[in-house]
Amino acid sequence: MVHRVKKIFFFFLVFIACTIEAQEVLDKIVAVVDKDIILKSELDFRVNIEAAQKNLNPNDTTLRKQVLNQLIEEKLLYAQAELDSINVTDDQVKQQLDYQMNYFIQQYGSRERLEQAYGMSIEKLKRSLEDDVRKNLMAQMLQQKKFGDVTVSRKEVEDFYDTFKDSLGLIPERFTIAHIFINPKSGERVRNKAKNFAESLLDSLKHGADFAELAKKYSDDPGSASQGGDLGFVKRGVFYPEFEAVAFSLAPKQTSDVIESPVGFHIIQLLERRGDEIHVRHILIKIKSDEKADLAAIDLLNDIRDSVLSGKNSFAYYAKKYSDDKETAKNGGLLGTFEENQLDKSLLDIVYKLKDGEISFPKRLDVNKSTYGYHIVQLIKRTPQHKANLDTDYDELKRLAEYYKKQKLYKEWMAELKDKIYWEIKA
């Protein structure tokens, strides 16, 4: 669930651009690590990203050396992961690829715009990234295996605090918040409306209507509607499991019944089967809310707010029962503790007006360009800006002490890897 908390995914952007650029340009090799290489285009791109992120000069030789060292360390981690027989499943790779693609689609506004930006289909984009995603996951699993259980004692936290207390600065003001989110699309009435429309299109197909024309006119998949719903040849692992279970079971030229996936209702037609790949097209009908559904969501949230304020039950109780943000609902709607600069303006405006324990009135929340809803927010606790101390900030100091310890151990371990595994800078 997107809480509108600010996050920057520079690594994913680097990841995708470097892979594509390296495929398109005849590159100079700048370093060799075990059986892997680092190309000049990859180094140039990473330097430019680092410089843009930190407002540095991309021509700075010191910056270039630092970034090259980072790339070498990444390759060393992968080499060691292979030596340690770290295995990553196809499902883990698929999940990471799906996560990255969904993020990119949100950033570009649609599947079609993303495909236009990179000059290839989503499926081809995934295939081009699959090997690098697998390597990165292996490296992450290796680090988790090596340092995941690293902890610090009370004395280590105290020693860390005594050493760095003068340089820790002030702990910024923080807000611990929870919310209850209602998605108007989740109601049965709007769901049935979409399903019934999809059923009517299926009935038209059974009476001779042209599949491609219906897809162009009615499908809510912007990436395929203009192509008559054509999704091209794909292997398993590209689409939602509910979609694939039906698509791979069809005979050539056979059309499915209406099936549901997390994005809506589909009618699928198998055009051709080639080995373990299928060529399919579909019509997608998304569940769309309307004014009545919006009003019902707002009324429900107002009723919940009144019930909490009257003492009928707790905010956490109603979050678990009603919130459509399933990720936070299981924890009573808890979003977490955030600093001011981690919250976007709309959420910060709500929180600033609340005192500890108070609940906001319903407000619209835009999750992404195509999904929205309404939520009420409870300010659980506001912690003013203050100087760090062991009594009130022990958990935060422990986290910093653990990070410091892991970084120290990581540097020592990386020095060992550089002695053990072959690597060489070529330029």
**Within a domain: 255:** yes
**Within a domain: 263:** yes
The answer to whether residues 236 and 317 belong to one domain is no
φ and ψ of 30, to 5 deg: -100, -20
pLDDT at 100: 82
Extended beta strands in 112-184, E state? 170-171, 174-182
pLDDT at 116: 83
Task: Compute the distance between CA of residue 206 and CA of residue 214 in angstroms, rounded to an integer.
Answer: 12
Q: pTM here? A: 0.55
Domain boundary among 234, 256, 285: 285
CA 141 from chain center: how many Å?
Answer: 18
| Percent of the chain topping pLDDT 90 | 61
The answer to whether residues 347 and 242 belong to one domain is no
**Within a domain: 197:** yes
Confidence of residue 425 (pLDDT cuts 50, 70, 90): very high
Q: List pLDDT tens digits, range 69-81.
A: 999 999 999 999 9
φ and ψ of 392, to 5 deg: -95, -20
Arithmetic mean of pLDDT over the chain:
88
The answer to whether residues 83 and 63 belong to one domain is yes
Confidence of residue 118 (pLDDT cuts 50, 70, 90): confident
The answer to whether residues 359 and 294 belong to one domain is yes
The answer to whether residues 218 and 272 belong to one domain is yes
Q: Tell whether the model's pLDDT for residue 123 goes beyond 90.
A: no
The answer to whether residues 29 and 54 belong to one domain is yes
CA proximity to 316, closest of 270, 366, 380, 259: 380
**Contact by Cβ (8 Å): 338, 177:** yes
**Within a domain: 313:** yes
Q: List pLDDT tens digits, range 171-186.
A: 889 999 999 999 887 6
Q: Tell whether the model's pLDDT for residue 117 goes beyond 80.
A: no
The answer to whether residues 318 and 179 belong to one domain is yes
Domain boundary among 255, 285, 315: 285
Tell me the average pLDDT across 156-168. 94
Tell me the average pLDDT across 152-179. 93
pLDDT at 187: 67
Task: Compute the distance between CA of residue 119 and CA of residue 381 in angstroms, rounded to an integer.
Answer: 48
The answer to whether residues 177 and 211 belong to one domain is no
Domain boundary among 285, 313, 348: 285
| 10, containing H or E segment | helix 10-24
| Percent of the chain topping pLDDT 70 | 93
Q: Tell whether the model's pLDDT for residue 366 goes beyond 90.
A: no
The answer to whether residues 245 and 214 belong to one domain is yes
Q: What is the CATH number of the domain that holds 73?
A: 1.10.4030.10
pLDDT at 239: 87
Q: List pLDDT tens digits, range 24-36.
A: 445 699 999 998 8
pLDDT at 157: 96
- Beta-carbon-side half-sphere exposure of residue 376 (alpha carbons within 13 Å): 27
Tell me the average pLDDT across 380-387. 93
C-alpha gyration radius of the chain: 26
Task: Compute the distance between CA of residue 171 and CA of residue 384 in angstroms, rounded to an integer.
Answer: 8
Q: List pLDDT tens digits, range 274-318.
A: 988 999 999 999 988 778 888 989 999 999 999 999 999 999 999
**Within a domain: 156:** no
Q: What is the CATH number of the domain that holds 346?
A: 3.10.50.40
Q: Using N-to-C axis directions, what is the helix angle for 61-83 and 394-420, rounded to 10°?
A: 80
Q: List pLDDT tens digits, range 1-20.
A: 434 333 334 444 444 444 44
Q: List pLDDT tens digits, range 186-228.
A: 667 788 889 999 999 999 999 999 999 999 999 999 889 999 9
The answer to whether residues 222 and 295 belong to one domain is no
Tell me the residue length of the chain: 427
The answer to whether residues 315 and 177 belong to one domain is yes
pLDDT at 1: 45
pLDDT: which is higher, 51 or 26 = 51
φ and ψ of 376, to 5 deg: -115, 145
CA proximity to 240, closest of 259, 215, 218: 259
The answer to whether residues 50 and 141 belong to one domain is yes
In the 8-state DSSP scheme, what is residue 173?
P
**Contact by Cβ (8 Å): 174, 341:** no
Sheet holding 36-39, edge to edge: 36-39, 29-33, 423-425
**Within a domain: 168:** no
Q: 340 is in which domain, residue-wise? A: 173-183+290-384
**Within a domain: 411:** no
Cα dihedral 305/311/312/314 (nearest 10): 70
**Within a domain: 114:** yes
pLDDT at 158: 96
Q: How many domains does the chain have?
A: 3
